[in-house]
C-alpha cells in the first residue's frame, strides 16, 4: 500500500484529505501548521507526521499551500529527501513560471511534479467534486489519477505548467463573472427593484449557472462567510497578470477585476467571500445591496 503525504489541511485541504482517507484505501500522513487542523485530521482517521518525515517516507506527496515561497520550499525538500520515482502533486494555485522551474528540479532528480490546481471552493472540496486541472508527465498523472478522483474530476491538460495556466483561465473568467454579478445587483438595488425577484427571473437565462446559483443568494442575504476568499482568488489574478506580462499581452477585463480586488484589500475585506466584492459597488454607487435579515 502506498503512503501518501498531504501537506496543508486548511479550508480546502482538510476536506480533500478527508475524502482521500475515506476513498483511497491508502495510509495518509498529513501536516498543517495549525494545531486544530491537525486534530481534525486525526479525528477523521489520518496520521499526523512532521513535514520532514513526510518528505522522507511517502511515495506520493500532495500539497495545497498558500504562498509561492512555501510551495517552492516544500517541493525543494520533497526532492532533497526523496528518491527517484516519487510523484509530487501541487494542488496549490502556483504561477506557471515557478512550476516550470520546480518541474525541472524534480525531473533532474528522477522525480515527477504535477501541477494540479483545483476549482470549486469549500463546498465542492467537501463533496469531493472539485475540478482538477493537471499538467506534467502523462504517466505520472495516470498513476495518481485514482487518488485525484477521490477529491474530484481530474483532467489531464498537457505538459508542465499547463494545469496552472488552465487554472488562471478559469479564475480570470470566474473573476470577471463575479465582478459582473456584483455590479449588476448593485445596479438593480440602485434602481429599486427586488433582488430576489431579479434572481428568480434571471437564473434560467444566459446569466445563470452553478456560480450564479451559489453566489447570488449569498449576495442577497449579505452572507460574506467565505466559501472562497477574495484573497485566494486575487492571488490567481496577480499570477495571471504576471504571466500575461511574461507573454507580452494585455488583459483589460482582468485589470478591472484586479482593481476591485485591490479595493477589497485596501478596505479590509480581503478575507471575505468573493461576492463581497459588491461592497466596492456599494461604495461607488452609494447603495446598500441586500439585507442580512
Catalytic residues: 167
Q: Which residues pair with 133 in a beta bridge?
A: 155
- Where does the chain have alpha helices with state H? 13-23, 35-43, 51-57, 68-81, 96-108, 121-127, 138-148, 162-191, 195-202, 210-220, 230-247, 252-266, 278-285
Cell matching residue 180? 459582473
**For the residues of 249-269, what is the DSSP string, one character each?**
---HHHHHHHHHHHHHHHTT-
**217 CB-side CA count, 13 A:** 8
Instruction: Look at residues 148, 163, 22, 8 and name the one whose alpha carbon lies nearest to residue 74.
Output: 8
Report residue 47: phi and psi, to 5°: -115, 125
User: Residue 206 has what DSSP assignment?
Assistant: T
Q: Which of 192, 203, 200, 89 is nearest to 137 (CA)?
A: 89
Q: Which residues contact 79 (CB under 8 A, 6 or more apart)?
A: 88, 105, 106, 109, 111
- Main-chain phi, psi angles of 183, to 5 degrees: -65, -45
CA–CA distance from 185 to each of 172, 201, 202 (Å)? 20, 13, 11
Centre a 10 Å sphere on the Cβ of residue 132 and count the other Cβ atoms it contains.
Answer: 25
5 is written with which cell numbers? 503525504
* E strand or H helix that includes residue 3: strand 3-7
What single-letter DSSP state applies at residue 95? -
Amino acid at each position: 500500500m502506498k503512503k501518501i503525504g498531504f501537506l496543508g489541511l486548511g479550508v480546502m485541504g482538510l476536506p480533500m484529505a478527508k475524502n482521500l482517507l475515506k476513498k483511497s484505501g491508502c495510509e495518509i500522513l498529513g501536516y498543517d501548521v495549525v494545531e486544530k487542523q491537525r486534530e481534525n485530521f486525526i479525528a477523521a482517521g489520518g496520521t499526523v507526521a512532521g513535514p520532514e518525515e513526510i518528505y522522507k517516507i511517502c511515495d506520493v506527496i500532495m500539497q495545497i499551500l498558500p504562498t509561492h515561497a512555501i510551495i517552492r520550499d516544500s517541493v525543494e525538500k520533497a526532492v532533497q529527501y526523496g528518491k527517484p520515482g516519487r510523484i509530487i502533486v501541487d494542488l496549490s494555485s502556483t504561477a506557471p513560471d515557478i512550476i516550470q522551474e520546480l518541474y525541472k528540479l524534480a525531473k533532474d532528480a528522477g522525480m515527477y511534479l504535477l501541477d494540479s490546481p483545483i476549482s470549486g471552493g469549500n463546498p465542492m472540496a467537501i463533496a469531493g467534486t472539485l475540478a482538477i486541472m493537471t499538467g506534467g508527465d502523462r504517466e505520472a498523472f495516470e498513476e495518481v489519477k485514482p487518488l485525484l478522483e477521490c477529491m474530484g474530476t481530474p483532467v489531464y491538460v498537457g505538459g508542465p505548467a499547463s494545469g496552472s495556466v488552465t487554472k488562471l483561465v478559469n479564475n480570470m473568467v470566474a473573476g470577471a463573472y463575479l465582478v459582473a454579478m456584483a455590479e449588476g445587483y448593485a445596479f438593480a438595488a440602485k434602481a429599486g427593484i427586488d433582488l430576489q425577484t431579479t434572481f428568480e427571473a434571471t437564473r434560467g437565462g444566459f446569466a445563470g449557472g452553478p456560480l450564479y446559483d451559489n453566489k447570488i443568494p449569498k449576495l442577497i442575504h449579505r452572507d460574506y462567510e467565505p466559501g472562497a476568499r477574495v484573497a485566494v482568488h486575487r492571488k490567481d489574478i496577480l499570477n495571471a497578470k504576471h504571466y500575461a506580462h511574461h507573454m507580452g499581452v494585455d488583459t483589460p477585463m482582468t485589470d478591472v477585476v484586479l482593481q476591485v480586488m485591490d479595493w477589497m484589500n485596501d478596505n479590509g475585506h480581503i478575507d471575505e467571500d468573493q461576492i463581497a466584492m459588491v461592497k466596492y459597488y456599494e461604495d461607488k454607487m452609494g447603495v446598500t445591496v441586500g439585507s442580512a435579515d
